[in-house]
Amino acid sequence: MARGFVTLSAKIEGLGEIERRLSAMPVVIQRRILRGALRAGARVFRRHMVQEAPISGERRLDYTGLAPKIPGDLRRSIRVGKPYIDRGRLSITTKAGNDKAFYAQMVEVGVRPHKISRRRNLGRSRNVLVIARQFVSGPVRHPGFAGRFFARSALASGEGPAILAFRNYFDNRVQQYWVTGK
């Protein structure tokens, strides 16, 4: 998934106030609060990505022609990663794609027209390619398709609510720290 990974970012204003409020706390508590706030914002963004992700309506076989392909694999593959600090910048990733939804990046950015040919060393079916439950001999031209840009549209629609979720979590946790000391 690293090759061709689409990077999207959002800038949060008011970081000076956040830094001022955190400066009086121990570093361990600061990191805990910021990680939780990032996760809260990323979960909102994930919900928007799931709503925007396209879903196929019919149950069909996968590209090998053997295993059933259940609609919604792309939506189920969207997940939130762990928060991390890179060069002083706090980040978190929301990823789409897994073993079942390996095509997530293709759906996001599209595919150029290309030739599909058989793979080597497939045992008995050396000269056969299975596409849409049909055996095909020789190379096939794939027409390509335009991207659906579900992650980008989710960022556009979910940026405000995600920042609001970040802010609410942050405010609640800072207030909780000053009340309970934890």
**pLDDT digit string, tens, across residues 136-152:** 777 888 888 888 899 88
The pLDDT assigned to 135 comes to: 75
Q: Looking at residues 140-167, what average pLDDT do you find?
A: 89
More confident call, 69 vs 13: 13
The pLDDT assigned to 33 comes to: 92
More confident call, 55 vs 10: 55
pTM of the model: 0.75
**Domain boundaries in the chain?**
23-110+146-180
> Mind listing the pLDDT tens digit for each residue in 58-112?
555 555 555 555 678 888 999 998 988 777 778 888 888 888 888 888 888 889 9
What does the H/E/C string look like for the chain?
A: CCCCCCCCCCCCCCHHHHHHHHCCCCHHHHHHHHHHHHHHHHHHHHHHHHHHCCCCCCCEECCCCCCEECCCHHHHCCEECCCEEECCEEECCEECCCCCCCCHHHHHHEECCEEECCCCCCCCCCCCEEECCEEECCCEEECCEECCCHHHHHHHHHHHHHHHHHHHHHHHHHHHHHHHCC
